[in-house]
Structure 1
Amino acid sequence: MIEHRLYLACGAVRRDWLNTRAHFRVGQCGRTDHAPLGALYVWNDDEFAPRSGFGLHAHRDVEIVTWVRSGAITYEDDAGNRARLVADSVQAMSAGTALHHSERNEEDVPARLFQIWLHPRTPGGTPRWATRICSRGCREGRFVTLASGDPDDVRAGALPIHADARVRIATLREGTTLHHVLPTSRRAYLVADHGRLDVGKVRLAPRDGVAVRDQSQLTLVARDDTDVVIVELLR
């Protein structure tokens, strides 16, 4: 089953500084049928206005993977981590028992990012944070794993997360066909960022998503140049 979730049908949050579309229902925001998928329960398409963002706030018992699509955000937490994350940066944070952090756009242009939240395998634990760059060149025509709960992926360079999932990205040029095998769970969630993409018989407009269940393989056809971000459930 491939369930199409149109960008414009996703729950919307608009503030003076924030424009968000929620691929999964969050609280009272979003459609009731946009339910979690395994460990994955939040996928927000965020845009921060210049000189704005989230001030210091707390998280616990959540794994958060952030992919910066354009612009930059400045991250800071109470464990002493601080970084400016530019486009093509990924950040993986394990909140563990508790972590206070801020994420702000200190630039003069908007920042666009995906924020992906996953349930940890077990609650508690020591907070952890890491970041890396994944350039277009290294992901062109193929999926690269950004963050993962699989130790083999971490040994190969993925950022570690304490969840039964992996987050991957591919850059596909117009006309490219990619056959992608899913893990044994046969479940995933996928978003086309800035171009049209066919997933099997489903045609996605830019920023549309699909929830995938009971599929062992996906055939992706890029109708435009686009980035494709996918969360694969490992269980």
Structure 2
Amino acid sequence: MLDFRPFAALGTFANDWLDAHYHFSFADYFDPARVNHGVLRVWNDDTIQPHTGFSPHGHRDMEIITYVRSGAVTHEDSLGNRGRTEAGQVQVMSAGTGIRHAEYNLEDQPTTLFQIWILPRAQGLAPRWETRPFPRTHGRFEILASGWPEDRAPLINQDARVLGATLDRGESVRHTLGGRAAYVVAARGRVRVGDLVLGPRDGVAVTDEDDLELMAEEETEIVMVEMV
């Protein structure tokens, strides 16, 4: 089953430095039909203006993955970590027993990113942070973050994966879900998923599908979370 979530219908928030679109209920936006999709709790589509950002604030018991679409974000946290994550990289923060962090756009142009929150498989775990580049190969999914160490990707504390793919026009990729749930967003371009066509920043919640085939109608960048 495919549940289409068009970008134009997402929850929104805007102020002088942040333009946010919410695929799921978040902050003051609440839709009882869109609280989560399995263990996927948050998918925020954020544009952060230059020399602004999220000041220090706290989280606990959440896996937070940041996929930078353009620009860069600079991270600081209470564990002493500091790092810059730019387009083509992903950062993973396991909030665990508690962590305070800030995310700033110190660049001279806006930063666009997806902020993805996944519920952990257990509470009270040790907090951690990591950033890593990922290969921009065309025509296949790359694992950006995973709950399985053998995937050799940044680790999250859940039986889930975050995957990304870039497809040329007319190119397709098939992914076996075996009944696992998934959530797919077109970061850019247009991609056909079953009978649906996702435009830029549209999403689709997937349930009870064995195989998922995605075909690009133009050059397309896809991000997907799959979960047990």
Measured against the shorter chain, the TM-score band is over 0.9
- In structure 1, what is the equivalent of residue 159 of structure 2? 164
CA 27–109 in structure 1, closer or farther in 2 if over 3 Å, else same: closer
Q: CA deviation at 1:78?
A: 1.1
Verify the 8 A CA contact 2:135 2:142 in the aligned structure 1: no
Q: What fraction of aligned residue pairs are identical, expressed as a percent?
A: 49
Q: Choose from 170, 174, 190 the match for 1:196.
A: 190
TM-score if structure 2 supplies the norm length? 0.97
One-letter code aligned to 1:159: P
Q: CA deviation at 1:199?
A: 0.3
CA distance in 2: counterparts of 1:216 and 1:40, whole angstroms: 19
RMSD after superposition: 1.1
Counterparts of residues 36-55 of structure 1 (less than 5 Å):
36-55=36-55
Instruction: Report SS of the residue matched to 2:169.
Output: coil
Q: CA deviation at 1:14?
A: 0.5
CA distance in 1: counterparts of 2:192 and 2:35, whole angstroms: 23
* Unmatched 5+ stretches in structure 2: none
Tell me, yes or no, if structure 1 residue 219 matches structure 2 residue 213: yes
Verify the 8 A CA contact 1:12 1:21 in the aligned structure 2: yes
CA distance in 2: counterparts of 1:25 and 1:229, whole angstroms: 19
- In structure 2, what is the equivalent of residue 109 of structure 1? 109
Instruction: Report SS of the residue matched to 1:8.
Output: helix
- In structure 1, what is the equivalent of residue 224 of structure 2? 230
- In structure 2, what is the equivalent of residue 119 of structure 1? 119
The total of aligned residue pairs comes to 228
Instruction: Report SS of the residue matched to 2:102.
Output: strand
Deviating above 3 A after TM superposition, structure 1's stretches of 4 or more consecutive aligned residues are none
Q: CA deviation at 1:186?
A: 2.3
Q: CA deviation at 1:135?
A: 3.5
Instruction: Report SS of the residue matched to 2:150.
Output: helix
Q: CA deviation at 1:12?
A: 0.3
Post-superposition Cα deviations, 1:102-128, rounded to whole Å, max 9, x if no partner, equal: 000011100000000011111111111
Post-superposition Cα deviations, 1:47-85, rounded to whole Å, max 9, x if no partner, equal: 000010001111100000111110011001111110111
CA distance in 1: counterparts of 2:18 and 2:60, whole angstroms: 23
